[in-house]
Amino acid sequence: MNQFSKLIIFGLTLIIITSGHTAPNQPRIGLVLSGGGARGAAHIGVLKVLERLHVPIHVIAGTSMGALVGGVYASGMPLDEMERRLTEVNWDTMFTDDPPRPTWPIRRKRGAERPTWDFSIGWRNGEFWLPKGFISGQKIQLFLTDLVKNAEYIQNYDDLPIPFRAIATNLENGQIQIFDSGPLSINLRASMSVPGFFTPVEYNDKLYVDGGLVRNLPVDIARSMGADVIIAVNLGGSYLKREQLGNILGITGQMITILTEQNVQRSLAELNPNIDILITPDLGDIESTNFARVKDAIPTGETAAQAVAGQLSRYQISPKAYASWQHQRQHPNKPQPIVVDNVQIQGLNQINPHIFNPLIQHQDHFNLNRQLLEQDIQKIYSTGDFERISYQLKRHRQQSLLIVDALEKTWGPGYISFGLGLMDDNRGDSRFGLRANYRQTWINQLGAEWNTDLIFGNIPEIYSEFYQPLFTDRMAFIAPYLNASVTPLHIYSESNRIARYSTKQIFLGVDFGLTLNKNTELRIGPYWQVRQFDLDTGSPTLPEANIQDTGLQTRIFFDNLDSGYVPRHGQRFKLEYQYVNQISNILSTGEYQRLYGSWQGAYSFGQDSIMGIIRAGSSLSTTLPYYDQFALGGFLNLSGYANAQFRSSEMLYASLALQRRVAILPSPLGRGIYLGSSIEVGRLWSGLNQAISDLDTMPSFPKQLLYGASLFLAADTWLGPIYLGWGVAGTGDNGFYLLIGQ
């Protein structure tokens, strides 16, 4: 060996010794992270200790929440940023699939005025279908996509900064699915799809659910990736107590925990106590479903890892070498802005792809705008036609492809839902009904819908509308409709009800409409109706009669309230004009006009909110028949008085309510419980038409201001609104009210 060769060898040896790179005999360390729902945040605490001790990770295998933490860490996100993202996110919102109500299309907002339970049964090809889970995971999917955006072009998980595997269960055959490639966010979502709670993830024509069913602690998977040493973090089973097993949700959760723990014991037996390290955080009473305590779970992992710091320190490397490892993990070279060369929409079967045109126009051949992309996705998702809409980026022939994966609801396109309506003013006016709704969507490529409401009870009703858009953007439409109902008409003399009539009504019309934006709709159209008045009880104050009329009505709606039931911010406005030409009427008033407007606004500050309401009606100097006059009286409509105690041709009403949110309901049960109070004032002008006022027994309307106030407990739930209230009138009259639904 010549002198030059010796010099080269000496130089190379010196470089190896003085450099910070891992020595050749450094073992490959595999990190195994188990599932555990909210308890999985303890993994972040474990990673904190590993970073503090300068212990590098060479491969990661994770299941469920362990896959989420492991996958995000493997993709290169700094640990402090991961902790911030997972602790600051609103998990209650994350587990609610629906986008915020203000983003809904106006047609859906108007349909929600007839509330049904937040659950539907599908009707397809002559068969009933059920949803595959309570939560589709739409918001979670978008959240995961954003968390791993550093690695969105990487398809092979061996090419991630840290090689990674996510574990799921193939629902069709019960076999383990080891995800080592593909869109990372979708596979993370598959790994954490707890059966029954989350819908399974459909990917490559297969259905996947939570990997905890087959391998909740994937020690063998990390070993197969070449790990010499395993650091396993087992979160343990969160068994429910006896008192928590009184419903199907508790029993289902307990069954999943039992199955999971059985395969965990097998994985624990695979650990070598001489070289492997087991970390078991003491999570106490933190339950897997309690994501409000994610922040509390992190220190438990830190404490547990610190307790075995002596064992972990066997695998630490020099600060310089660790800094180099972290530098490689966190992708120091930030990617340049992504220019989208092409947008592809995948997965559509029945829905017209043109509804994605605004999304395509915003992204195609522009720099990728993630915020706008998610807004467009949520806007489309808010139509209620999709189970999931996600996106991914791919490189293909030097081009950046934005692929939008749109999965239509598998239990549609026909949906049956139910609701309950109950109103009782403790003054003899009790109304109850079971509502059934059928909605057939996408009857044609323009997005036609047939919507039918049936109410069974003491106030039966059927409402059916065929909604036909004229263009793919749904801005213009035509909507023929039918409404048939039986409703009570009460007549009062001061505070005494002197008669009750049964009003049978058939109403036929056709509307020509414009959807001006997601908050505003305009309708105008002719109608024909017939009404039959029959005396139920009391004095025959009004003649029993059959009345027919036809006319034209115009309506405009604006709605951006955050809730249609107990709003905390936003506004709702409605203006209706009706021209009526009576064809036959024993109490004929000929032609008359009816103008009605209402405004509702809410503003919140902290847990408190103020809600204002203004309503006004006018006959425009014509004479309204008694049954078409504007009514006041009832809960939050001059509380303390009886329902519709006063009627007149001119009316003005205003109220102001203060309400405090005293409890937040967990998703998907609802939004909250509120304690509130209101002050109300109303005024009536003009009076009964001449034909009625000639009758001595008919009451006259009060000519002074009317006052009312209320105290109430309200709940915004998946059943609809629930109110329990007490109202007092300016005259001292008072009463209790119970309302469920609308």
Active site residues: 64, 210
Q: For residues 565 and 542, is the Cβ–Cβ distance under 8 A?
A: no
φ and ψ of 348, to 5 deg = -80, 140
The CB-side HSE value for 437 (13 A sphere, CA atoms) comes to 21
Query: End-to-end alpha-carbon separation of the chain, Å?
Result: 95
SS3 26: coil
Whether 11 and 211 have beta carbons less than 8 Å apart is answered as no
Distance (Å, whole) CA 464 – CA 439: 10
Cα distance between residue 722 and residue 715, in whole Å: 5
Contact 423, 459 (CB under 8 A): no
Report whether 518 contacts 105 (CB < 8 A).
yes
For 136-161, the DSSP string reads --HHHHHHHHHHTGGGTT--BGGGSS
Token pair for 612: 């204002």
| Six-digit token string for 82 | 């991961």
3-state secondary structure 574-609: EEEEEEEEEEECCCCCCEEEEEEEEEEEEEEECCEE
How many helices, marked H, and strands, marked E, lie in the chain?
16, 33
| Amino acid symbol at 581 | N
What's the CA gap between 332 and 150, in Å, rounded?
11
3-state SS assignment for residue 58: coil
Euclidean distance between CA atoms 74 and 71, whole angstroms: 5
